[in-house]
Chains A and B, each alone.
With several copies, the nearest count.
Chain A
Amino acid sequence: MAEITLVEAVNLALAHELARDPSVVLLGEDIGANGGVFRATLGLKDRFGAGRVLDTPLAEAAIAGLAVGMAAEGLKPVAEIQFTGFIYPALDQLINHASRMRHRTRGRLTCPMVLRSPCGAGIHAPEHHSESPEALIAHVPGLRMVIPSSPARAYGLLLAAIRDPDPVVFFEPTRLYRLFRQAVEDDGVALPLDACFVLRGGTDLTLVSWGAAIHETLAAAGALEDEGVSAEVIDVATLKPLDMATILESVGRTGRCVVVHEAARSAGFGAEIAAGIAESGLFSLLAPLERVTGYDVVLPYSRLEMQYLPGVARILAAARRAMKFQ
C-alpha cells in the first residue's frame, strides 16, 4: 500500500470517482494541463480527457453556477476554487442555489456537486491565500461542510462527498498537502459524512479541532501526556451536519474541553461546538470551555501568520488552565 500525501490522496479519490462514475466531471481554474496550482488534479486531464476535466475561465461565480447547472442536469461536478480566499464570489450560488435546489423544487431537481478549495494559513502564501471561512458555509442549511486532516480521511471523505446526492463544500488544508505521508489503499471505500473521528482516546480532557489545526492539537495532546494528562482528540471533519453526539459523549467523560481552530474566533465554528455543549452537556463541565483560535484580526501577511495561528503553546496553555480549574 503506497504512502501518499494528502494532496495525492485527493488526486487518488478524484481519479477513482472519474473512473467509476462517468457523470463525474471536474472543473476549475488551471486544473487541466497544469494539474491545479497544488497538483491536486495532476494527470487527470491526460487520463480522462478534456471532456471530464475542464479548465474554466477565471470566474468563480461562473464556476459555482456552472456546477449548479451541471448537477441539476444530471452530472456530478467537482468544482475547484483555487483558494478559499476566492470563494466569496461563489457564495451566492452556494447559498442561494446549490443549497436550495432540492428543497425549492421538492426534490425534482437536485444539486449533487462538490466544491473543493485549498484552505488555511501557514505556507507563507501571499495575502488572500490563507483563509478559513468554513463557519460561513456551516451556517447554510442544505450544504455540507467537510475538512479532512489526513491523507486517508481526505481520500475517504472526498469519495463520500462526490457520491453524496447533495452539495458538499470540501476544504483541503494547504499546510497538510505535503506535510506527511500515510498508507492509503485505493479501495473506493468512503468514510461517513456525519461522524467525527476520535483520533486519540483520553480521559481527562477533550480537545476538539479540524483541518490543519488537528496537528498542533495532537502535538499538544502528546505534550500533555508527558504531563500526566490524558487528552482525547476529536477531529470534527464534517462540520455540517455536525456529529455533536460524539463530542458530548467525550466531554461527558472528561468534563473539560478545548476547541481549536484556525479561523477567527468570533462566530467561528468553535462557537457552535461550545453552544452545543452549553445546551446539552453543561453540567458535565468541570472547567470553563476554552477556544484557542485565530484572533479576531485581519489575517496578517506571512511574516506574522505564525503568531496568528493557534500553535501548540497556546493550546497547551488553555489545556493547562482547563486542567487546573477547580
Chain B
Amino acid sequence: MNVVASFQVERLEFLGAEGELLAPLPDFARDPEKLVALYRAMTLTRLFDARAVALQRTGQLGTFASSLGQEAVGTGVASAMREEDVLVPYYRDHGALLWRGVTMVESLLYWGGDERGCDYAGPRRDFPACVPIATQVTHAAGVACAMKLRGEPRVAVCMVGDGTTSKGDFYEGLNVAGVWHLPMVVVINNNRWAISVPLHAQTAAATLAQKAIAAGIEGLQVDGNDVIAVHEAARRAIERARAGGGPTLVEALTYRLGDHTTADDATRYRSAGEVERARRLEPRARLARYLERAGAWSGAAEERLRNECTERVEQAVREYLAVPPPAPAAMFEHLYAELPAALRPQREAALRAAGGERERG
C-alpha cells in the first residue's frame, strides 16, 4: 500500500499545572498587564457563575449551565477577537460573553427566562447562546461566508462542546468552511463530559482536533486550562482566518468541574476522585501562581479583585431582580417585522386573557 496522505495533531501549552512555564511565552504574554486582564476576567466569570447557581438554587433564576473550571476557554478565545468579529457561542460561554461586553444583567435575564437578555446592548452582531447542540456551527459558517463575500477582514468565532462533535451539523459546518475557505474558527470546550456521557463514549477519535482532518482544515489541541495557550491558539487561528488562510478547529482540553446544569447531579455518573484530580488542573489558580511568581499579582490584589467583582455581580443581580416581567404583548412583538393581520385577534385575545388573570389575581 502507498501512503497518499499524512496528518499530525499538535498540542499547544505554556503553563503547567503549578503555573510553571513549559515553553517560552508568546509575545502577548510577556506583558503581565495583559495576563492580569485575563485573570481578572476569569475571576469575574467564576464569581458571576457561582452567583447564578446560587440564584437558581433559591428559585430566582431558571436552569443555569455553570462554566466552573472552563473559564480559560471563553476568556482566552474572546480576548483574541476583534470587536468587529462575531462570536457564535453556546450556552456555557459566560466568560466569552462577558469579555465581549454582554452584561451580567443580560445574561441573568436570559437564564431567568426573558428574551430581553439576548438583546445585547454591547456586541450587537454576536449571536445569542445556542441551545440546540451544534446548530450554531453552520450559523458561524454563514456569518463567515457573508464576511468573505463582502470582502471584510472579519472572523466568525464559534464555540462548541465536546459532545457537540458527534452531531452532523458540526461536521457539515466544518466541511463547508473548509471547501469555501471561510474566515471561521471553531473552538471545542472539551470538558470531557456531555451531561453524563464521557468523551470515550462519545467518539473513538483519540483527539477532537483530528475531526478537522475530515474537513481538510487546520486543527490543533491546546491545554484549555492554560489561558495563555488558549489565547495564543485562538489568536493565531483568528488572524490566519482574517488573512484569508481559512478555518481552524481548536480543541481546548479542560474539565467541567460542576454539574452539567443546575438541573443535573453529576455524582450520579462520575466519581468524586475524578473531579478532584481535575480540580488540581483548573485554570485560575494556575495563572495566579504564575502571576505571583512573576511578581504581577499578590494576596492584596486578589482581595481587591474579589471585592470588586463581588460588588459588580451583586449590582447586576439587584438590577436583574428589579426587571419586571415582560408584558404578555411581548409574545407578539418581534415575531415578524410587522404583526400580520391574521394574528391581531390572537394578540387581542392574549391581552384580554392576561387582563382577566390580573383582575382575578
Residues in A lying within 8 Å of B, measured CB to CB: 25, 29-30, 32-35, 37, 51, 54-62, 64-75, 77, 85-86, 88-89, 92-93, 96-97, 102-110, 124-129, 141-142, 144, 165-166, 194, 241-244, 265, 295-298, 300-305, 307-308, 311, 313-314, 317
Contact = CB atoms under 8 A, between A and B. Distances in A.
Interface in B157-215: 163-164, 166-169, 172-173, 175-176, 179-180, 194-197, 201-203
B331 A58 contact: no
Given A57-B202, A298-B335, 6 more contacts: A33-B196, A34-B269, A59-B166, A59-B167, A66-B176, A106-B115
Contact of A304 (B196, B202, B331): B331
B195 A57 contact: no
A74 B146 contact: yes
A183 to B, nearest CB: 28
A23 to B, nearest CB: 9
19 contacts: A30-B197, A54-B180, A57-B175, A58-B166, A62-B169, A62-B175, A65-B139, A69-B88, A71-B142, A73-B86, A85-B132, A93-B135, A106-B116, A110-B337, A298-B331, A301-B110, A303-B113, A313-B356, A317-B356
Contacts of A72: 125, 127, 139, 142-143
A297 B119 contact: no
A57 B125 contact: no
Interface stretch (B17-25, B279-287, B339-347): B339-347
B113 A57 contact: no
B343 A107 contact: no
Contact of B201 (A55, A67, A297, A300): A55
A129 B195 CA distance: 15
Interface string B133-163: 1110111111111110100000010000001
Nearest to B266: A34
Contact of A241 (B127, B135, B343): B343
B101 interface: no
Contacts of B176: 56-57, 59, 62, 66
Interface residues of B, number: 84
B144 to A, nearest CB: 8
B197 A55 contact: yes
A92 B334 CA distance: 20
Contacts of B156: 69
Nearest to A141: B335
Most chain A CB neighbours (cut-off 10 Å) among B156, B333, B335: B335
Contacts of A302: 62, 112-113
